[in-house]
Chains A and B, each alone.
Chain A
């Protein structure tokens, strides 16, 4: 293998890596994809793919704690973060070293991701609201955080590509969310401007749940007061990456590289009919969401999008995939600063300590290994860090949960995890004081905070209930459970960070991420405010509040004399942020590192702020932007004469 066998070497087959792999190979660029997880998970053969997925599903059924990573192999050679490993950090036990992360605290980082083929899209919920225009200019509008180096309008064409690729079901009209309150008037974002006149999603909205309707009916015209400002409670159906009924008005066919215009183009065809993308083993399975109510951790029919659907669209003629290959270090030329190779360790089989160390070579290199893993690899290599921002500004949504019993049956534990959100506090001048938040109505009862309904059963049994009385009691209690999320935006904090320490390595000798994480006044104030809002909403619904916060919880803070608990959202963001100057950021708006001309980073790590949106859609939009920049760069070089022959090469 010569030094430039491949045009691009990509680390990671999650959604960012898969979008790049698909886009670049379809444009005729040779890609080597390195994936840390097991070979079985990538199976392109339908039969093997089905068998492997059934193995995941049965592992999920058999799991005692059905947490996000429970269906998937957790390989010693490429460990995933597991939320079951999170524990309270005290001066006596710190750092905690359970599982993969080393947590120095003071608060434990409570979110996980999946290292394996398809990445975290295997267990993601699939909610895909876009970020709001003001999310891109937090510093200018509200004096907190940082501005993005690009605007909402600049990202808009890439949002359309991401929505096409994932296959979004949603109603654009419902995305008319409040921007601010002026006097007693709520000003809304104009969707004709934010989405464009006549823009529609590929599929109609996923039906909102019966529970959503109960909540909405019980709170018609509801206003809540917070810090002397009165807000309308506004409900929005949640756009999501799962299949529903195609919208006949959607005419965008797909994305290709326009060599002459040097840009990615999302094509339109007037007689086009969108076709939902089914499962990876059978295109006719998963054409619609079937209501399995298990999106996290696994959609049995793959009606929910996962990155392997995108990866499978790659042109196999230009693609080589090496699995069980864990990227460990990146080499660079000290003169030019150009990257010269990525070292990876290929382990023999799951949990094996036997591995070979190899170096992957290409013209351009892309890290798409997750926000935490990308930062870790950069730190281990001592590169891309002239700004000292690598690993810093680690963010997540603080998910404050409130739960209670409705006065009538809402019938939770049915349908996708969430189909409606309260969008009232996604934006507003209050962001000068505290975080914004999005409030999804959770369709799955109290499962998250209390491990219901199993705990409802054990509580009833401990009271001596059995037989018909037990059955009636469970029916009464479980069907009335309501859970609201308050997913609070975390602001970039340089002290929330990923570092490495030679004391902590995995069995292949790769670094384990060391995490420092804390809450700030801005967050705590948001939880205080959110609880006040929750109280008013619960009152309107007639809900009996069973919310119980305790300092015993792993993530607990005390603010103004009251205890608040929060949970991780699984939205790991910000560890190698994009910016407009090389002094304050790791990548530029093209997603290319400031320090190395042939190194790109993709994924949520590039996001300078998190907003109130689930980050996958925005990150996917940025990945298309990265693909376009890479193609531009490759073709600029090719214009100077360094093309090479197309040839089929083996998949290792």
Chain B
């Protein structure tokens, strides 16, 4: 049995769903907001089901990334849970829940801009003339 809290499970599975490390995800400062948004937008029984499935994937994987990915594809991208899963990933990548921007902060913390080696338009500006060169690579964990 997993001793993780649902929020810990949320964070751990988010690492595998987004392709970003725990440090990257925590670095956005959005974990609490996103976890709360996820839970608040779901019926309680769906929350329970989702985290039960997540914990099963994590607990039965023996820490094998390959096995976790298999579980994600099979269960979290299965017809019952796929929309929740894509909403969860979209939230980390764009700061949106569905079509709605969760908050001004969530927009500026969207990971899609990191993936694009850019920055959210209107925030985290890289400075005068930066656009004339290749983006600077900041190594992440």
Contact = CB atoms under 8 A, between A and B. Distances in A.
Most chain B beta carbons < 10 A, residue from A293, A453, A471, A478: A293
Given A292-B121, A292-B123, A457 B19 contact: no
Interface in A462-512: 462, 464, 466-472, 474-475, 478-479
B141 to A, nearest CB: 13
Given A62-B101, A462-B86, A467-B69, 7 more contacts: A290-B127, A411-B117, A415-B130, A454-B112, A458-B86, A467-B72, A469-B19
Contacts of A66: 121
A207 B131 contact: yes
Interface stretch (A3-11, A53-61, A313-321, A530-538): A53-61
Contacts of A409: 117, 134
Interface of A: 57-58, 60-64, 66, 207-210, 213, 244, 288-294, 298, 300-301, 409, 411-416, 419, 443-444, 453-454, 457-458, 461-462, 464, 466-472, 474-475, 478-479
Contacts of A469: 19
Contact of A293 (B18, B104, B121): B121
Interface in B84-120: 85-86, 89-90, 93-94, 96, 99-101, 103-105, 107-108, 112-113, 115-119
B130 A468 contact: no
21 contacts: A61-B103, A64-B101, A66-B121, A207-B129, A210-B131, A213-B132, A290-B128, A291-B130, A293-B119, A411-B118, A413-B119, A414-B135, A444-B121, A457-B93, A457-B112, A461-B89, A464-B73, A466-B17, A466-B19, A471-B19, A471-B115
A482 to B, nearest CB: 14
B126 A291 contact: yes
Contact of A209 (B116, B122, B131): B131
Given A414-B119, A461-B86, A471-B18, A466 B107 contact: no
B112 A461 contact: no
Contacts of B115: 471, 474-475, 478
A420 to B, nearest CB: 11
A294 B121 contact: yes
B43 interface: no
Most chain B beta carbons < 10 A, residue from A290, A298, A409: A290
A298 B104 CA distance: 14
B17 A62 contact: no
Nearest to B126: A291
A470 B100 CA distance: 22
B125 A300 contact: yes
B116 A457 contact: no
B93 A467 contact: no
A62 B133 contact: no
Most chain A beta carbons < 10 A, residue from B107, B118, B123: B118
Interface string B46-70: 0000000000000000000000010
Interface of B: 16-20, 69, 72-73, 77, 85-86, 89-90, 93-94, 96, 99-101, 103-105, 107-108, 112-113, 115-119, 121-123, 125-135
A210 B134 contact: yes
A467 B18 contact: yes
Contacts of B112: 453-454, 457, 474, 478
Shortest 9 CB-CB contacts between residues of A and residues of B: A415-B131, A471-B19, A294-B122, A61-B104, A413-B118, A294-B121, A207-B132, A478-B116, A468-B19
Nearest to A415: B131
Given A62-B107, A291-B126, A457 B94 contact: yes
Contacts of A416: 131
Contacts of A457: 89-90, 93-94, 112
A64 B121 contact: no
B103 to A, nearest CB: 7
A475 B89 contact: no
B121 to A, nearest CB: 4
A470 B16 CA distance: 10
B131 A64 contact: no
A288 B126 CA distance: 12
A524 B23 CA distance: 53
B127 A291 contact: yes
B76 to A, nearest CB: 8
Nearest to B132: A207
B127 A453 contact: no
Given A58-B104, A294-B122, A411-B117, A288 B128 contact: yes
A458 B119 CA distance: 19
A293 B127 CA distance: 10
B67 to A, nearest CB: 13
Contacts of A479: 116-117
Given A62-B103, A461-B89, A466-B17, A412 B118 contact: yes
A464 B79 CA distance: 11
A64 B73 contact: no
Nearest to B129: A207
B117 A475 contact: yes
B107 A61 contact: yes
Nearest to B102: A62
